[in-house]
Amino acid sequence: MKHQLLRSALMVSYLVLITSVFSFRALAQQKNGQEIQFSTTSYKEVLAAAKASHKKVFVDAFATWCAPCKELQQRTFKDPEAAAYFNKHFVNFSVDVEKNEGVELARTWQVDGLPALLILDENGRVLANHTGFVDGKGLIEFAGEAAGNTRSNRSHPASIRGHEHNPWYSNTDTTKLHVSNAAWKKVLSPDLYAVAREKDTERPFSGRYWKSTTRGTYYCAVCGNLLFRSDAKFASSCGWPSFYEPSRANAVHYQADDSFGTHRIEVLCGRCDSHLGHIFDDGPPPTHKRFCMNSVSLDFAPDKK
């Protein structure tokens, strides 16, 4: 009887042990499947892996002190749907922009805000970037658009009609351009060149977009850079299309304009430095800013229906 009880106890212990092992493995596999897996190798090796697998590269550029960066790592990168998508379609690379090769990479990618999320081709060319926190769904939409594989209700790429002879025009390439005005003059229309490169201003109430309410996306008419979403556009009596915020922080940049005896802040395209308009402090919430833009400097792509 004692031997039978001992055998039964041993059998129960064995079953508990086996169950525990398999439960641990299942939990580990589930955990791995629910997180975006980032490569721990060098950037050079990441690009080599991307070429070998014919995949694009997803980059998480972060700093240890950045609170939104930590939120991305704790929430977005652990989103099961986002993890499955990125682990399948991308080689994922996470890099601290304040350490080792991350410092030089941040300069190369022109990172000007954190967290910076980038999509690169297998040669390291930046196809798209995003600055700031985004949830799992938003991250998939961002990457899907860059990869040309999105199901979101975002805009079609702006038509290249009228830009056939402009080799720098792209709705996805965010590489900083350094093109002379002489070169731009050969590919831009006279009206666009006068405003975008010579800082002219179109007459108020004359532009095609100043009172448009169509949902979609606005791009730089010179280089195709993504600038504004129609969600940020508001009715203004100034006679020019007005927005309360750009699509992302580095979509535009600013410089002082003291022409005509008055001080204003000029808004320029973040990719090609073309003149877009000016920014004022009389806009609606939440920013209370008014990006007063020239219609001629904008291309527009309506949302899918």
Q: Give the mean pLDDT of 98-107.
A: 91
Check residue 9 and give its pLDDT: 55
Bridge partner list, 90: 56
136 or 28: which carries more pLDDT confidence? 136
| Any domain includes 271 | yes
Check residue 129 and give its pLDDT: 81
Q: Give the mean pLDDT of 151-176.
A: 67
| Stretch among 55-59, 139-143, 155-159 having the lowest mean pLDDT | 155-159
- Catalytic residue at 238? no
- Active-site choice (66, 220, 272, 292): 292
Range of the domain at 250: 181-302
Looking at residue 122, which CATH number applies to its domain? Answer: 3.40.30.10
Check residue 151 and give its pLDDT: 39
Same domain assignment for residues 208 and 270 = yes
pLDDT class for 161, splitting at 50, 70, 90?
Answer: low
pLDDT in tens, 8-58: 555 545 544 444 444 444 444 444 458 999 998 999 999 999 999 999 999
Mean pLDDT over each residue of the chain, to the nearest integer: 84
* pLDDT higher than threshold 90 for residue 292: yes
| Any domain includes 110 | yes
Same domain assignment for residues 11 and 48 = no
| Any domain includes 159 | no
Q: How much of the chain, in percent, has pLDDT values that exceed 70?
A: 83
pLDDT in tens, 206-253: 999 998 999 999 999 999 999 999 999 999 889 999 999 999 888 999
| Any domain includes 154 | no
| Any domain includes 158 | no
Same domain assignment for residues 188 and 228 = yes
Same domain assignment for residues 142 and 58 = yes
| Any domain includes 92 | yes
The pTM of the full predicted model, rounded to 2 decimals, is: 0.52
Same domain assignment for residues 279 and 234 = yes
pLDDT in tens, 66-91: 888 898 999 999 999 999 999 999 99
| Any domain includes 223 | yes
Contact criterion met (CB below 8 Å) for 257 and 266: yes
Looking at residue 297, which CATH number applies to its domain? Answer: 2.170.150.20
Same domain assignment for residues 283 and 252 = yes
Same domain assignment for residues 54 and 111 = yes
Same domain assignment for residues 44 and 6 = no
Same domain assignment for residues 5 and 75 = no
Same domain assignment for residues 185 and 298 = yes
Q: How many domains does the chain divide into?
A: 3
pLDDT class for 185, splitting at 50, 70, 90?
Answer: very high
Contact criterion met (CB below 8 Å) for 296 and 195: yes
Same domain assignment for residues 127 and 69 = yes
- Residue 11 CB coordination number (10 Å): 10
Q: How much of the chain, in percent, has pLDDT values that exceed 90?
A: 56
Same domain assignment for residues 21 and 60 = no
Check residue 29 and give its pLDDT: 40
* pLDDT higher than threshold 90 for residue 150: no
pLDDT class for 264, splitting at 50, 70, 90?
Answer: very high
* pLDDT higher than threshold 60 for residue 278: yes
| Any domain includes 174 | no
